């Protein structure tokens, strides 16, 4: 084994701590709204910390490492193209603000109110199928990481019984995640993930700093410069031979980010858990500061692994790594495990334990969130509409728990039988396209247009699903027939499905009378005469200065909120300006030499280190404050038994004037 006693002690203490936090918060779950959305009690820091943990699993870690070891620092450079999008989304409330205004417990509930019950069922099934298929390899990636990093044997013996390590680890992982989610639903998920996130952030920084100290920057540059011509790991303008993660990958990603905002529902509970829309917005806005320690670690570790494998100073460690990798028959899995195996041969005791703790945390937090989301979607958006009547609260929660258990069971079975053949990101893109391909049109059209109809929504989802399923099947058939890879990768297939879905949504909606009988958006969004809580809505006033209006900062922004928003804007647009200036210098005057990039990326890393320390202190204090406030509120808040996501007759009256939008 690769871990010492101190490493195992760190891991054991971390698991016991998380179980205690989950157990202590689970008793506050007293209704369906608690289980699904923590009764909408989360503040910005609780949302940000737990949301980051929920959305970034071990699979995200390994997939990012695959991209970096393939294309290097240029992946970060081209990613800067989209850097303004999060601040634009956060300050304008793009999609999420209006979705929160609908007061829907799930996106499916919004679909029923906006379109029809039949559409909600169809969308729920499609989203659920896409989601559990996408989630199907999550446990496999986490289990393999632990096996190869920790040096665990393929088989171990208990009481004379030989047990395979791979399925045993997945059972333990999914079993503990089930314990967390079933003990208190979204309440336990948010509280435990916030606690784990606070500990993990400190571990991120310690791991990254120790790794940077152990590998001189000169060794790193020497290793990166071994890349072939046209595939530079440093200069983004010399990457013409990079196939998978080139500039086109990131250009298409911008389209997907705008189009698919809030449509991927793997962390759906967090989309409806905020105390109000403003807290949801602020949680999105401050996330850039919270991400610094995680971003630092996820960059430094694959950088160190690449250096060990390609610099002569680490020939002995590289030989050991290659020896382990040579015993992995599947090339895709060999590529996935390259960084974990390398780190196992390089990191010191104690740091290995911290990394395993981080991996365990990322596994628990992502898996329980995804199981909660996909299990809830099936019950809320398929079972309940088919029953055509609400459930009693106790029965409702039992249905949710059994549905969540099935998601875990499916993921275990899928991980046992599925053989990976490509990089993780492309599997995620293809399986996600089954849903996102059409869902973006349905979400944006439903929240921002009055002409969208149920027929248009069906058309958009169907074309997206066809392209998603086709993206799984056609490349396999093409490879079998032509003995060559399919010429269009998953990213391009996703873009084609988006274009077709947008066109069909608009054309079919207009053809079925959407323009003649517009939908009542004010009623669905609880605005104007339909307002439920006036504090949730921005009050327009001539007193607002023009620049604040442009930034989307209304009276709900305190002075501190405005300061954060301005700081975020300056930081974000500063990086974007850097991107634009350097691109202009290169493309207009060819004035950016190769010697510029080692210094640029070194400064980039140092900025992340400097940013991480104060961010940890800030979010630790904010997270503890929000956790305390949420727990206190949950002890006293009145539960509404009708707040269960079921669209009753009075809610369905919203669509009565929409004509073509009704069943």
Task: Answer yes or no: are the C-beta atoms of 339 and 65 closer than 8 Å.
Answer: yes
Judged against a pLDDT cut of 90, whether residue 200 lies above it is answered with yes
Place of tokens 């870690």: 61
| pLDDT mean over 8-25 | 91
CA angle 363, 291, 46 (to 5 degrees): 70
Please give the helix or strand (H or E) that residue 155 lies within, else none. Answer: strand 155-158
Rounded to an integer, what distance in angstroms lies between the CA atom of residue 503 and that of residue 505?
A: 6
In the three-class reduction of DSSP (H, G, I as helix; E, B as strand; rest coil), residue 158 is classed as strand
Q: Which residue has the higher pLDDT, 182 or 622?
A: 622
**pLDDT, tens only, 590-605:** 999 999 999 999 999 9
Show the DSSP H helices in 151-272 as ranges.
Answer: 165-184, 186-214, 217-224, 247-259, 268-271
| pLDDT mean over 73-89 | 91
Place of tokens 């011509």: 229
Tokens coding 363: 């596994």
How high is the pLDDT of residue 403?
Answer: 96
Residue 92 lies in a domain: yes
Label residue 659 by pLDDT band (50, 70, 90): very low
188: domain CATH number?
1.20.1730.10
Rounded to an integer, what distance in angstroms lies between the CA atom of residue 647 and that of residue 629?
A: 30
In the three-class reduction of DSSP (H, G, I as helix; E, B as strand; rest coil), residue 116 is classed as coil
Task: Answer yes or no: are the C-beta atoms of 20 and 170 closer than 8 Å.
Answer: no
Judged against a pLDDT cut of 50, whether residue 546 lies above it is answered with no
Label residue 502 by pLDDT band (50, 70, 90): very high
Judged against a pLDDT cut of 50, whether residue 273 lies above it is answered with yes
How high is the pLDDT of residue 660?
Answer: 41
Tokens coding 125: 């099934």
Rounded to an integer, what distance in angstroms lies between the CA atom of residue 117 and that of residue 481?
A: 43
Residue 274 DSSP label: B
Task: Answer yes or no: are the C-beta atoms of 84 and 576 closer than 8 Å.
Answer: yes
Q: Which residue has the higher pLDDT, 393 or 11?
A: 11
Label residue 552 by pLDDT band (50, 70, 90): low
In the three-class reduction of DSSP (H, G, I as helix; E, B as strand; rest coil), residue 488 is classed as coil
Q: Phi and psi dihedrals of 162, rounded to 5?
A: -85, 125
Residues whose CB falls within 8 Å of the CB of residue 522, separated by 6 or more in sequence, listed in order: 528, 529, 530
Residue 588 lies in a domain: no
Judged against a pLDDT cut of 70, whether residue 426 lies above it is answered with yes
User: Nearest to residue 409, comparing CAs of 177, 620, 73?
Assistant: 177
How high is the pLDDT of residue 548?
Answer: 57
Q: Which residues span the domain enclosing 60?
A: 5-537+593-661
How high is the pLDDT of residue 257?
Answer: 94
Judged against a pLDDT cut of 80, whether residue 550 lies above it is answered with no
Rounded to an integer, what distance in angstroms lies between the CA atom of residue 326 and that of residue 337?
A: 11
Tokens coding 473: 């099947």
Highest mean pLDDT among 15-19, 273-277, 451-455, 635-639: 451-455
How high is the pLDDT of residue 287?
Answer: 86
How high is the pLDDT of residue 535?
Answer: 57
Lowest mean pLDDT among 86-95, 227-236, 262-271, 627-636: 86-95
| pLDDT mean over 339-356 | 97
Residue 162 forms beta bridges with which residues? 157
* Dihedral, 395, 397, 403, 405 alpha carbons, nearest 10: -120
SS3 percent helix, strand, coil of the chain, rounded to 5, is 75, 0, 25
How high is the pLDDT of residue 645?
Answer: 67
Tokens coding 527: 């605005």
Residue 532 DSSP label: S
How high is the pLDDT of residue 530?
Answer: 86
Rounded to an integer, what distance in angstroms lies between the CA atom of residue 81 and that of residue 521?
A: 33
Q: Which residue has the higher pLDDT, 69 or 180?
A: 69
Residue 336 lies in a domain: yes
Tokens coding 102: 């609908």
| pLDDT mean over 634-662 | 60
Residues whose CB falls within 8 Å of the CB of residue 192, separated by 6 or more in sequence, listed in order: 18, 21, 22, 25, 180, 364, 365, 368
Judged against a pLDDT cut of 90, whether residue 473 lies above it is answered with no
Lowest mean pLDDT among 76-80, 149-153, 257-261, 527-531: 527-531
How high is the pLDDT of residue 652?
Answer: 46
The size of the chain, in residues, is 663
| pLDDT mean over 194-200 | 96
| pLDDT mean over 433-443 | 95
How high is the pLDDT of residue 658?
Answer: 41
How high is the pLDDT of residue 219?
Answer: 98
Q: Across the chain, what does the average pLDDT equal?
A: 90
Tokens coding 416: 């046992």
User: Nearest to residue 438, comparing CAs of 457, 410, 454?
Assistant: 457
* Number of structural domains the chain divides into: 1
Task: Answer yes or no: are the C-beta atoms of 184 and 25 closer than 8 Å.
Answer: yes
Place of tokens 């952030």: 201
Rounded to an integer, what distance in angstroms lies between the CA atom of residue 196 and that of residue 623?
A: 11
Rounded to an integer, what distance in angstroms lies between the CA atom of residue 83 and that of residue 293?
A: 17
Percent of the chain residues past pLDDT 70, beyond the cut? 94
Residue 156 forms beta bridges with which residues? 163
User: Nearest to residue 508, comparing CAs of 450, 440, 454?
Assistant: 454
How high is the pLDDT of residue 654?
Answer: 43
Please give the helix or strand (H or E) that residue 161 lies within, else none. Answer: strand 161-164
How high is the pLDDT of residue 534?
Answer: 60
Residue 564 lies in a domain: no
| pLDDT mean over 447-476 | 92
Residue 550 lies in a domain: no
| pLDDT mean over 553-572 | 82
| pLDDT mean over 267-287 | 85
Rounded to an integer, what distance in angstroms lies between the CA atom of residue 471 and that of residue 447?
A: 29
């Amino acid at each position: 084994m690769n871990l010492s006693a101190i490493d195992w002690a760190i891991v054991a203490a971390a698991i016991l701590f998380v179980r205690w936090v989950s157990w202590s918060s689970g008793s506050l779950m007293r209704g369906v709204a608690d289980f699904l959305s923590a009764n909408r009690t989360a503040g910005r820091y609780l949302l940000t910390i737990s949301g980051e943990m929920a959305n970034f699993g071990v699979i995200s870690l390994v997939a990012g490492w695959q991209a970096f070891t393939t294309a290097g620092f240029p992946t970060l450079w081209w990613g800067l193209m989209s850097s303004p999008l999060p601040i634009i989304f956060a300050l304008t409330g793009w999609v999420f603000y209006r979705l929160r205004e609908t007061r829907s417990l799930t996106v499916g509930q919004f679909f029923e109110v906006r379109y029809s019950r039949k559409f909600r069922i169809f969308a729920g099934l499609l989203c659920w199928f896409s989601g559990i298929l996408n989630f199907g390899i999550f446990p496999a990636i986490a289990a393999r990481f632990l096996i190869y990093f920790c040096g665990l044997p393929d088989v171990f013996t208990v009481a004379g019984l030989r047990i395979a390590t791979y399925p045993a680890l997945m059972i333990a992982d999914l079993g503990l995640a089930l314990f967390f989610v079933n003990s208190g639903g979204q309440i336990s998920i948010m509280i435990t993930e916030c606690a784990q996130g606070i500990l993990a952030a400190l571990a991120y920084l310690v791991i990254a700093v120790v790794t940077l100290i152990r590998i001189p920057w000169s060794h790193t540059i020497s290793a990166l410069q071994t890349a072939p011509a046209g595939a530079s790991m440093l200069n983004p303008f010399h990457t013409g031979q990079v196939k998978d993660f080139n500039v086109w990958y990131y250009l298409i990603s911008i389209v997907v980010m705008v189009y698919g905002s809030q449509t991927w529902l793997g962390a759906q509970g967090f989309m409806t858990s905020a105390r109000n829309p403003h807290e949801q917005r602020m949680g999105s806005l401050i996330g850039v500061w919270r991400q610094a320690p995680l971003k630092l670690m996820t960059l430094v570790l694959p950088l160190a692994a690449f250096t060990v494998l390609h610099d002569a100073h680490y020939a002995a460690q590289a030989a050991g790594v290659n020896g382990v990798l040579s015993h992995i028959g599947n090339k895709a899995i060999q590529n996935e495990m390259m960084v974990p195996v390398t780190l196992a041969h390089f990191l010191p005791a104690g740091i290995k334990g911290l990394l395993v703790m981080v991996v365990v945390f990322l596994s628990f937090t992502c898996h329980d969130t995804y199981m909660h989301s996909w299990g809830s979607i099936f019950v809320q958006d398929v079972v309940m509409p088919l029953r055509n009547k609400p459930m009693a609260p106790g029965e409702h929660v039992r249905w949710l728990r059994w549905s969540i258990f099935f998601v875990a069971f499916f993921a275990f079975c899928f991980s046992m039988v599925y053989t990976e053949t490509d990089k993780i990101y492309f599997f995620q893109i293809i399986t996600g396209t089954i849903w996102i391909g059409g869902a973006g049109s349905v979400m944006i059209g439903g929240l921002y247009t009055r002409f969208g109809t149920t027929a248009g929504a069906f058309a958009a989802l169907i074309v997206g699903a066809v392209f998603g399923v086709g993206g799984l099947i056609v490349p396999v058939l093409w490879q079998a027939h032509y003995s060559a890879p399919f010429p269009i990768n998953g990213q391009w297939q996703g873009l084609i499905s988006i274009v077709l879905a947008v066109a069909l949504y608009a054309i079919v909606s207009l053809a079925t009378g959407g323009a003649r009988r517009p939908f009542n958006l004010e009623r669905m969004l609880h605005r104007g005469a339909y307002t439920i809580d006036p504090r949730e809505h921005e009050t327009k006033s001539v007193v607002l200065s023009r620049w604040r209006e442009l930034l989307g900062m209304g009276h709900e922004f305190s002075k501190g909120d405005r300061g954060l928003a301005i700081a975020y804007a300056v930081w974000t647009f500063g990086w974007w300006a850097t991107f634009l200036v350097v691109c202009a210098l290169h493309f207009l005057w060819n004035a950016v030499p190769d010697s510029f990039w080692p210094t640029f990326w070194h400064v980039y890393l140092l900025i992340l280190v400097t940013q991480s320390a104060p961010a940890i202190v800030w979010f630790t204090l904010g997270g503890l404050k929000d956790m305390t406030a949420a727990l206190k509120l949950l002890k006293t808040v009145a539960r509404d038994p009708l707040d269960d996501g079921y669209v009753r007759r009075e809610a369905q009256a919203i669509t009565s004037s929409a004509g073509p939008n009704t069943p």
